[in-house]
A and B are shown apart, each in its own frame.
Chain A
Amino acid sequence: MSLHLPVISIALLLLASFVMPLLRRGARAAALPFTLSVLGAVFTVSLYLIYLVESRGAFSYHVGGWPPPWGVELYIDHLAVYMMMVLSSICLVVMVYGARDLYHEIRAEVMSWYYTLYLLLLASMIGIALTNDLFTLFVFLEISTISACGIISIKKDRECIEASFKYLILSVLGSGCVLLGVAMIYMITGYLNYDFVAQELPQAIAEYPYNILMALSLFIVGFSVKSALFPLHIWLPDAHSSAPSPSSAVLSGLVIKIYAAAILRLLFRVFPAELFEVVPVLDILLFLSVLAVMAGSIFAMVQEDIKRMLAYSSIAQIGFVFMGIGLFGNRALLGGLVHIFNHALMKSMLFLAAGLIIYAAGIRNIRDLRGIGVRMPLTMGAFAIGAFSMVGIPGTNGFISKWHLALGALDLGRPFFVAIILLSSLLNGIYYLPIVINAFFGVKIEPRSEHRDVPGMMLVPVLILAAGVIFFGFYPGPILALLEQAIVL
């Protein structure tokens, strides 16, 4: 039974998402508890799977009992359960917040659709994390794209629709690239399953070198559009800043990172290692990540809208994840991967905190945030913790990922990247700290609109995430232990 759990959790999410719109008017009140319990169940399953993988090692699961290469295979290893845990935990916490917040951002009639899309998104992301074959990957990729667009455009205003349209077009182009890449791989090897492809590729290199390189470059471009790696990040600021706050939290915290995890899988499990000695794929990623880290921070500095600033900051932070992949040393990879979790915690918390401020005070402009810390001490306190974590102050989890990334870079004898990491931390300080300072110590300005009370349902998730930021800053042990297993590729 326990071996069926991964596929059951995906199926449960899919089923739940299809049931949502069927709920009648009277049963709508049940939608939220139902969604939450499904999310909670998936989170519990992910924890159990961690235990299972820790004790028994990685295992693969054949859906419907059909063995690969014909059947769909799920491969549950340390990286997969790590991603699943990150995804389900953040989704659960954000949904608790969204339960209250969404009612003022979107219309009540479409609430059940929101649940549908949200569950569908989670299901597809977990699918991407667990899958072991290229076609399933593509299918889940498409589902995640559509549902991600859905949770942006569900808020019916002009910016949202424009942004999600732009996101849709670019993302679909990205999926197209991935599909082409998959087709090329299939053309050469005749397989879609990762393991079989990996077996075939070393021999195929000699025969079809250009096809493989083409597939590789299509994957890189396709996935970097989806995960908003620097020059292809253009859709992100609009999409993430205009979406409803819970959507922003999930999109910025999780969605862009799952694609990074997917390409990590592809690069290191499918493509032969000798390839990387010849072609500078990792160097391209590294170069782009440095650009992302710097440009994201610089663009964020000049933003006036708080959510837009956070969105640009995400571009810089995804750069760190790719830097970990590009450096390709054990410790650097550890740093990059642990940053997936750390950034998911802090960025979703920051977005939710920003959403709380927008909800309670109706303020989006950074300059108007002066003195808000006195009115909303807990929210801004959480925001301050997130800001410190972004800067990488020790005692927050941001420090842990920077520590490992920087040491990883030094291990490989590349102190330049340490300087980049520290410089970007300084830039983060330059745009995050004034917000905190002004919020707490700035001269108060008269509130323009009346102040709404902050509901506990919305505050608690923010505080939980903030506590997580601190907790994993002091006790990163379990996460790191799990990831150390994961990077033994």
Chain B
Amino acid sequence: MAASELWGEATNIVLSWRPVAVVLFPMTAALVLAVLGVKKKRHIGFWAAVAGCITFLLVLSLLPLLREGVVEHRFADMMGLGLMFRVDLLGFIFAFLMSLAWMLVLVYASHYLQVEGFPVFYFPFALLTLGSCLGVVLTGDLVSLFLFFELMTFSSFVLVITRRDRPAMAAGKLYLYMGVAGGLILLFGIFAIFNAAGTVEIAPLMQELAGVEKTGLGIVFGCFFIGFGIKAGVVPLHFWMPKAYGAGPAVVNALSSGAMIKAGVYGILRVLLLILTPASLEWSELYSFALSSGYWVMWIGLLTMVAGALLALFQGHIMRLLAFSSISQVGYMITGLGAAAYLLGAEEAMGYSGAVLHAFNHTLYKTAFFLIAGIIFYRAGTLELGKLGGLAKKMPLLTAFFVLAALGIAGVPGLNGYISKTLVHDALLEAYKLYGGWDIYLAEKIFVAGSALTLCYYLKFFQKAFLGEETRARIRSAPWLLYAPLFVLGLFMLVVGLQPGFFVEDFVLASTYAFTFEPYGIEHVARLDFFSYQPLAAALTVIITAVAIYVPLYRWKLFDRELPAWFSVESMLMLPAARLFYQILCRMGVTLDHSVNRLYFGVGGKFLKFCRYVGSFDSNLDSFFEQSSRKVYRLMERSRELDDALNEAYEKTGSTARDFADRSSRLDGALNRAYESTGRAARGLADRTAHFDKALDKTYAATGRAARNLAEKTTRFDRALDKTYESSSKTAQKLAGKTLRLERVEVKEPAPTAAPDGREKAEAGDRKGRRPAFNPLEWNIKNINFDQLLMVLMLGIVIFILFYYGRALVDL
């Protein structure tokens, strides 16, 4: 076979750091840009584009190594199980398409983002997402894959909310929660695989899993399918996509649709065709699981294809149309994979190569579509199909690219989509040949119908946007840099379409060396002639069917109708489910809380009452509240008593002061009397000397003045005391209700020696009063009785259970 000459054997392992570098370089670049980007907003785009180009070159540098064999690098101790990078040709194909899409989009975005006002986070997180996407496809075990898959979810979340407006945040949250839920479901599958097989390496494990019963395997595969399917947008897990795409700028959607959803497809591919297949070619019972799961996957793929295409037909917003188109296109890949698994052991290479090539092709034209939509937005300022029209005259170059991509996606011979669609279609035909049955026959017809619908909605897109009345929007000019990526993508599309052999044989078919596929099936695909009568006739059938659907729809103007809001999986199934889930959780919490409260108020109250009853022998206590109010009342009373005591104290002090004053006046009188008597005596004794008399006179005056002073001082003191009493009694009133302890402090208080000193003390009392009161009556420990009761209950239950089972011990 030609493949083995070009590429190394799968058993030949080349140890190299390069895969690690491929993954880590964009992540490091993201970190550097995030740090630098804070200051230099304008140049960040340029450097991000450079980083994207370097990453692309790094991915290409894996090629020479792949010629020798499978590239590996292991970190033995990491995360307990070891982190393993492992690149085979399939991983390389996906890495190639991702890094290609990223490089082109980053180059485009460096100019485009000025219409979006240069969101700061875009470039670093785009590079981080690139690194994690590459990590997903370049790792060799499920845990490492999961690591990068989760990283991708979180970093791409930031991309989804680039615009930060309300719809973007809502879409982002939906995306994140679905991503996290999907990741955990995926993790369940990984746990199960590891438990059953003892390894998480991405390798054929069916032999190790042979012991697991079929329902178990079904659940495991279901977990993987849901986990990866959410990212890939498989119906009915697709509904985040139209929301996220509708709310995001073109440069995010191009990455998401062109590359990120491929990570999901890649995961399904690896699990379905590699992990859950036997390692040997010999036919055995081990195949049966792959066959039956392949059958169901095929049908889910067809459902996704048709549902996506049908919904796309009725969209009026370009981004939403492209989102549904992406869903529909993922349907092709899933159908191809399902057919491959269904045909396992025979013609599996047909479906496999169809799916892989379609993933590559889809990257080419869907990236192109989103970039075209970006240019339309850039130049015309709107993406509503109803407001656009006649763009063909104003943007001839863009129209040419659009036609190229549309013909590519519609599967017109000569372009890339034709090749991969033919392969998937042939796989369905092979299945019909092998198994027969009306269901497979129907599947083939549905496939044709889906392809026809694809053509229809692009016709609608073309007619609404590019033909007809010219738009009234002002058309800006766009720099050539925005067109450059389209040239590259167009070139690739033409090359794949005209030279399919190179891609199909040397890459896609060669990548089967990692799988256990029938050699003759591979040979069959290699010998397939894409330009023979039968596939061309099939393509023609599709085109005729498309016209047959389109013309009546156009005549009756059915396109202009939007589907009603309730008509979607989201509003019919997922939203009610999510609401129910949330309701159950919240209700449960609230109900529990309420019942605990009620239980407390019931049980705790009664318990308390009972305790009080027993403890105090007071049958008059009606309820806890009454008692506490009585306590408060008592407290009030006590404070009044305190008040009275203070009053008394004041009065006492006052009367003492008054006494003092009286006494001094009495002293005055006594002195007077003494003077008089002395005077009389002196006069009686005869006024011997005038000097003596005068001196006496002076003494009298001085003593009198001193006495008056004394009286004045006493009244001043009296007034000061009055004030002190007032302030302290006020504080006392304030605090009495709060504290018992304060009481003691204040009772000591009303004996101020001097006025200022008393005020100080009152202040000190005040400060003490602000401390937390250690008054259990005031504490709001509402549940403590309940808690104790709960503890006793628990103890009782545990004892009961243990004793119940412990009877066996007694019998021992």
Contact = CB atoms under 8 A, between A and B. Distances in A.
A213 B80 contact: no
A169 interface: yes
A480 B80 contact: yes
B180 A433 contact: yes
A403 B142 CA distance: 13
Interface string B777-796: 00111011011101100110
A278 B781 contact: no
A39 interface: no
Contacts of B78: 474-475
Contacts of B154: 388, 393
Contacts of A406: 187, 191
Given A166-B784, A410-B191, A441-B164, A210 B803 contact: yes
A452 interface: no
Interface string A424-461: 01110110011001000101000000000000000000
A399 interface: yes
Nearest to A160: B772
Given A166-B787, A173-B788, A441-B158, A395 B806 contact: no
B771 interface: yes
B79 interface: yes
A162 interface: yes
A221 B188 contact: no
Interface stretch (B145-153, B476-484, B635-643, B727-735): B145-153
Contacts of A295: 592
B387 to A, nearest CB: 29
Interface residues on B, range: 35 or more
Contacts of A24: none
Contacts of A225: 791
A403 B588 CA distance: 28
A67 B346 CA distance: 76
B812 A205 contact: yes
A281 B191 contact: no
A31 interface: no
Nearest to A234: B787
Contacts of B157: 437
A477 B77 contact: yes
Contact of A161 (B147, B150, B181, B772): B772
Contacts, number: 166
B161 interface: yes
Given A165-B779, A441-B158, A474-B78, A278 B772 contact: no
Nearest to A477: B77
B772 A281 contact: no
B195 interface: yes
A422 B772 contact: no
A224 B786 CA distance: 17
Interface string A153-189: 0001110011001100110011001000000000000
Given A165-B781, A231-B790, A232-B791, A419 B188 contact: yes
Interface residues on A, range: 35 or more
Contacts of B2: none
A429 B182 CA distance: 12
Interface in B110-165: 143, 146-147, 150-151, 154, 157-158, 161, 164
B362 to A, nearest CB: 29
B585 A170 contact: no
Contact of A403 (B80, B185, B192, B794): B80
Interface string A228-245: 000110110000000000
B177 A430 contact: yes
> How would you classify the secondary structure of chain A's contact residues: helix, strand, loop or mixed?
helix
B772 A157 contact: yes
Nearest to A300: B589
A220 B797 CA distance: 11
Contacts of A477: 77, 80
A214 interface: yes
Interface string A183-214: 00000000000000000000001100110111
A479 B539 CA distance: 62
Contacts of B585: 298, 301, 427
B180 A395 contact: no
Interface string A385-408: 000100111110001100110110
B806 A422 contact: no
Contacts of A392: 184, 187
Interface string B728-755: 0000000000000000000000000000
A224 B147 CA distance: 35
Contacts of B181: 426, 429
A220 B798 CA distance: 8
A166 B781 contact: yes
Contacts of B191: 403, 406-407, 410, 418
A247 to B, nearest CB: 17
B812 A279 contact: no
A15 interface: no
B787 A170 contact: yes
Contacts of B783: 166, 234
Nearest to A158: B772
B801 interface: yes
A71 interface: no
Contact of A284 (B173, B592, B771, B801): B801
A410 B589 contact: no
B184 A217 contact: no
B764 interface: no
B158 A221 contact: no
Interface string B169-189: 100110011001100110110
B146 A217 contact: no
Given A169-B788, A221-B798, A476-B79, A441 B177 contact: no
B799 interface: yes
A406 B157 CA distance: 27
B649 interface: no
Nearest to B143: A394
B180 A474 contact: no
A394 B146 contact: yes
A162 B180 contact: no
Please indicate which of the listed interface residues B169, B586, B799 has the most CB atoms of chain A within 10 Å of its own CB.
B799
Interface string B582-599: 000110111010000000
Given A279-B809, A395-B151, A235 B787 contact: yes
A404 to B, nearest CB: 8
A376 B541 CA distance: 62
B46 interface: no
A27 interface: no
Contacts of B799: 213-214, 217
B173 A400 contact: no
B703 to A, nearest CB: 54
A473 interface: yes
A288 to B, nearest CB: 9
Interface string A267-291: 0000000010011110010000000
Contacts of A361: none
A475 B799 CA distance: 43
Contact of B185 (A209, A213, A422, A476): A422
Please indicate which of the listed interface residues B77, B173, B194, B794 has the most CB atoms of chain A within 10 Å of its own CB.
B794
A286 B784 CA distance: 26
A392 B180 CA distance: 10
A410 B80 contact: no
A162 B779 contact: yes
A348 to B, nearest CB: 22
17 contacts: A158-B772, A173-B791, A231-B790, A235-B787, A279-B801, A280-B805, A394-B143, A394-B146, A395-B150, A404-B80, A419-B188, A422-B187, A425-B184, A426-B180, A437-B172, A476-B79, A480-B80
Given A169-B787, A298-B585, A437-B176, 19 more contacts: A162-B779, A162-B781, A170-B784, A205-B812, A217-B799, A232-B791, A234-B787, A278-B805, A298-B586, A301-B586, A391-B180, A393-B154, A394-B147, A407-B194, A429-B177, A434-B173, A441-B161, A443-B164, A474-B79
Considering the complex of A and B, which 4 residue pairs feature the smallest CB-CB distances, nearest first? Answer: A410-B195, A394-B147, A209-B809, A217-B798
